[in-house]
């Protein structure tokens, strides 16, 4: 989550308890094709801000019919999914992990998600702009990471 994501969600929900800081595993830290990622996302203790999860692992904003946040409020990385990206831009191939075998025959993932590359490009630009704000965010130093 970026500082902008945090602000948008707090404004929409009136809550401040929807995020925490967690220490990332080595796989997430190792991004050789996006060297600025670690610098922009992680605090000195190796933690990063993330949406809280319920005991079953679901996002705190997951409802019966998907995300309960308005599209313009959702974290930028959530809005961009299923696009993979680096600081230099969107990759041509979509992220792996979506259960595309569940899609109706002939329907593509982007169509099913009502997603388009043009919107993802705009959100990608906003993501890296907001990540650069991270250094000045007041929550970087005052919360302890969860293990």
How much is the pLDDT for 147? 44
Residue 113 covered by a domain: yes
Residue 111 covered by a domain: yes
How much is the pLDDT for 144? 42
Residue 14 covered by a domain: yes
How much is the pLDDT for 108? 86
At residue 19, φ and ψ (nearest 5 deg) are -135, 165
Q: What is the pLDDT of residues 74-98, one digit of tens each?
A: 999 999 999 989 899 999 888 887 7
Burial category of 11 from C-beta neighbours within 10 Å (exposed 0-12, middle 13-18, buried 19 and up): exposed
How much is the pLDDT for 37? 81
Distance CA 107, CA 144 (A): 44
DSSP string, 71-97: TTTS-HHHHHTTEEEETTEEEEEEPS-
CB neighbours of 96 closer than 8 A, spacing ≥ 6?
A: none
> Which of 54, 63, 103 is closest to 82 using CA atoms?
103
Number of domains in the chain: 1
How much is the pLDDT for 16? 92
Residue 50 covered by a domain: yes
How much is the pLDDT for 114? 86
The domain in which residue 58 lies consists of 3-136
- Give the mean pLDDT of the chain: 85
Overall pTM > 0.85: no
Residue 145 covered by a domain: no
How much is the pLDDT for 24? 75
Digits of tens for pLDDT over the chain (147 positions)? 999 999 999 999 999 999 999 987 766 666 778 878 878 888 888 888 999 999 999 999 999 988 999 999 999 999 999 998 989 999 988 888 777 787 888 888 888 888 899 999 999 999 999 998 876 655 544 444 444
42 touches 24 (CB < 8 A)? yes
Residue 147 covered by a domain: no
Residue 99 covered by a domain: yes
CB neighbours of 54 closer than 8 A, spacing ≥ 6?
A: 60, 62
């Amino acid at each position: 989550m970026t500082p902008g994501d945090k602000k948008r969600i707090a404004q929409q929900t009136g809550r401040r308890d929807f995020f925490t800081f967690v220490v990332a595993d080595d796989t997430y830290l190792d991004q050789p094709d996006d060297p600025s990622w670690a610098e922009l996302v992680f605090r000195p203790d190796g933690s990063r801000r993330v949406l809280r999860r319920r005991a079953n692992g679901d996002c705190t904003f997951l409802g019966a019919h998907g995300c309960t946040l308005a599209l313009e409020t959702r974290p930028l990385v959530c809005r961009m999914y299923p696009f993979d990206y680096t600081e230099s831009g969107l990759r041509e191939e979509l992220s792996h992990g979506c259960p595309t075998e569940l899609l109706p025959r002939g329907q593509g993932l982007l169509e099913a998600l009502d997603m388009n590359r043009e919107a993802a490009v705009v959100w990608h630009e906003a993501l890296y702009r907001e990540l650069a704000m991270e250094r000045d965010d007041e929550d970087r130093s005052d919360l302890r990471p969860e293990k």
